[in-house]
Amino acid sequence: MLHLTDRPAIVRDPDDPKQVRRAERLVFRRNKTLRIAIGKVLSTPEGRHVWRAIMDACRLTEPAFSTDALEMAYLQGRRAIGCELRADAIEIGVNLYLTLESEAMARQSREDSEIEAAHIASATSATEED
Protein backbone atom coordinates (compact mmCIF):
# COMPACT_ATOMS: atom_id res chain seq x y z
CA MET A 1 0.00 0.00 0.00
CA LEU A 2 1.15 3.55 -0.57
CA HIS A 3 3.52 4.73 2.09
CA LEU A 4 1.20 7.61 2.86
CA THR A 5 -0.28 5.39 5.55
CA ASP A 6 3.05 4.26 6.95
CA ARG A 7 3.15 7.35 9.09
CA PRO A 8 2.91 5.86 12.57
CA ALA A 9 0.35 7.02 15.06
CA ILE A 10 1.87 8.87 17.97
CA VAL A 11 2.50 6.71 21.00
CA ARG A 12 3.79 8.66 23.97
CA ASP A 13 4.53 5.55 26.02
CA PRO A 14 5.48 2.50 23.93
CA ASP A 15 5.28 0.35 27.07
CA ASP A 16 1.57 1.16 27.49
CA PRO A 17 -0.37 -1.60 25.66
CA LYS A 18 -3.50 0.61 25.44
CA GLN A 19 -1.63 3.33 23.58
CA VAL A 20 0.01 0.81 21.27
CA ARG A 21 -3.34 -0.88 20.43
CA ARG A 22 -4.99 2.51 19.88
CA ALA A 23 -2.18 3.50 17.52
CA GLU A 24 -2.44 0.20 15.64
CA ARG A 25 -6.21 0.68 15.23
CA LEU A 26 -5.64 4.20 13.93
CA VAL A 27 -3.15 3.01 11.31
CA PHE A 28 -5.54 0.18 10.37
CA ARG A 29 -8.37 2.72 9.87
CA ARG A 30 -6.12 4.93 7.75
CA ASN A 31 -5.23 1.98 5.52
CA LYS A 32 -8.86 0.90 5.24
CA THR A 33 -9.99 4.43 4.36
CA LEU A 34 -7.25 4.73 1.74
CA ARG A 35 -8.15 1.34 0.22
CA ILE A 36 -11.79 2.39 -0.05
CA ALA A 37 -10.81 5.69 -1.66
CA ILE A 38 -8.51 3.99 -4.17
CA GLY A 39 -11.29 1.52 -4.99
CA LYS A 40 -13.67 4.39 -5.69
CA VAL A 41 -11.13 6.11 -7.92
CA LEU A 42 -10.46 2.90 -9.87
CA SER A 43 -14.16 2.13 -10.22
CA THR A 44 -14.71 5.00 -12.67
CA PRO A 45 -13.27 5.37 -16.18
CA GLU A 46 -12.13 8.90 -15.34
CA GLY A 47 -10.40 7.72 -12.18
CA ARG A 48 -8.63 4.92 -14.04
CA HIS A 49 -7.56 7.41 -16.73
CA VAL A 50 -6.02 9.74 -14.13
CA TRP A 51 -4.42 6.82 -12.24
CA ARG A 52 -2.83 5.59 -15.47
CA ALA A 53 -1.66 9.10 -16.40
CA ILE A 54 0.09 9.39 -13.04
CA MET A 55 1.65 5.94 -13.50
CA ASP A 56 2.83 6.99 -16.97
CA ALA A 57 4.39 10.14 -15.50
CA CYS A 58 6.36 7.85 -13.19
CA ARG A 59 7.99 6.25 -16.27
CA LEU A 60 7.57 2.66 -15.14
CA THR A 61 8.65 1.21 -18.46
CA GLU A 62 11.74 3.36 -18.88
CA PRO A 63 15.12 2.56 -17.35
CA ALA A 64 16.14 4.76 -14.43
CA PHE A 65 19.81 4.69 -15.39
CA SER A 66 21.75 7.92 -15.69
CA THR A 67 25.43 8.73 -15.53
CA ASP A 68 24.50 11.45 -13.03
CA ALA A 69 23.92 9.83 -9.62
CA LEU A 70 21.44 12.50 -8.49
CA GLU A 71 19.42 12.21 -11.69
CA MET A 72 19.37 8.42 -11.37
CA ALA A 73 18.20 8.67 -7.74
CA TYR A 74 15.44 11.05 -8.83
CA LEU A 75 14.33 8.77 -11.67
CA GLN A 76 14.40 5.70 -9.45
CA GLY A 77 12.36 7.48 -6.77
CA ARG A 78 9.80 8.49 -9.36
CA ARG A 79 9.71 4.94 -10.69
CA ALA A 80 9.29 3.53 -7.16
CA ILE A 81 6.14 5.63 -6.69
CA GLY A 82 4.79 4.25 -9.97
CA CYS A 83 5.51 0.70 -8.83
CA GLU A 84 3.59 1.35 -5.61
CA LEU A 85 0.65 2.80 -7.53
CA ARG A 86 0.57 -0.23 -9.79
CA ALA A 87 0.81 -2.63 -6.83
CA ASP A 88 -1.96 -0.76 -5.01
CA ALA A 89 -4.25 -0.93 -8.03
CA ILE A 90 -3.63 -4.67 -8.36
CA GLU A 91 -4.16 -5.20 -4.63
CA ILE A 92 -7.47 -3.32 -4.69
CA GLY A 93 -8.70 -5.42 -7.60
CA VAL A 94 -6.95 -7.27 -10.37
CA ASN A 95 -9.97 -6.88 -12.64
CA LEU A 96 -10.02 -3.12 -12.09
CA TYR A 97 -6.32 -2.98 -12.92
CA LEU A 98 -6.81 -5.07 -16.06
CA THR A 99 -9.65 -2.74 -17.08
CA LEU A 100 -7.34 0.24 -16.47
CA GLU A 101 -4.70 -1.34 -18.73
CA SER A 102 -7.14 -2.30 -21.50
CA GLU A 103 -8.64 1.22 -21.49
CA ALA A 104 -5.14 2.70 -21.72
CA MET A 105 -4.29 0.43 -24.66
CA ALA A 106 -7.56 1.36 -26.40
CA ARG A 107 -6.83 5.07 -25.88
CA GLN A 108 -3.33 4.64 -27.27
CA SER A 109 -4.66 2.74 -30.27
CA ARG A 110 -7.22 5.51 -31.00
CA GLU A 111 -4.53 8.17 -30.70
CA ASP A 112 -2.20 6.23 -33.00
CA SER A 113 -5.02 5.85 -35.55
CA GLU A 114 -5.79 9.58 -35.42
CA ILE A 115 -2.12 10.44 -35.94
CA GLU A 116 -1.84 7.95 -38.81
CA ALA A 117 -5.01 9.32 -40.43
CA ALA A 118 -3.67 12.86 -40.18
CA HIS A 119 -0.36 11.83 -41.77
CA ILE A 120 -2.12 10.01 -44.60
CA ALA A 121 -4.45 12.98 -45.20
CA SER A 122 -1.57 15.45 -45.33
CA ALA A 123 0.45 13.15 -47.61
CA THR A 124 -2.56 12.69 -49.92
CA SER A 125 -3.24 16.42 -50.11
CA ALA A 126 0.45 17.11 -50.81
CA THR A 127 0.41 14.54 -53.64
CA GLU A 128 -2.75 16.00 -55.17
CA GLU A 129 -1.21 19.48 -55.21
CA ASP A 130 1.73 18.23 -57.28
Q: What digits encode the pLDDT tens for the residues 74-104?
A: 999 999 999 999 999 999 999 999 999 999 9
| pTM, full prediction | 0.79
Q: What's the pLDDT score for residue 3?
A: 54
Q: How many CB atoms sit inside 10 A of residue 70's CB?
A: 8
Q: Which residues of 85-113 are buried (b: 16+ CB within 10 A; e: fewer)?
A: bbebbeebeeebbebbeeebeeeeeeeee
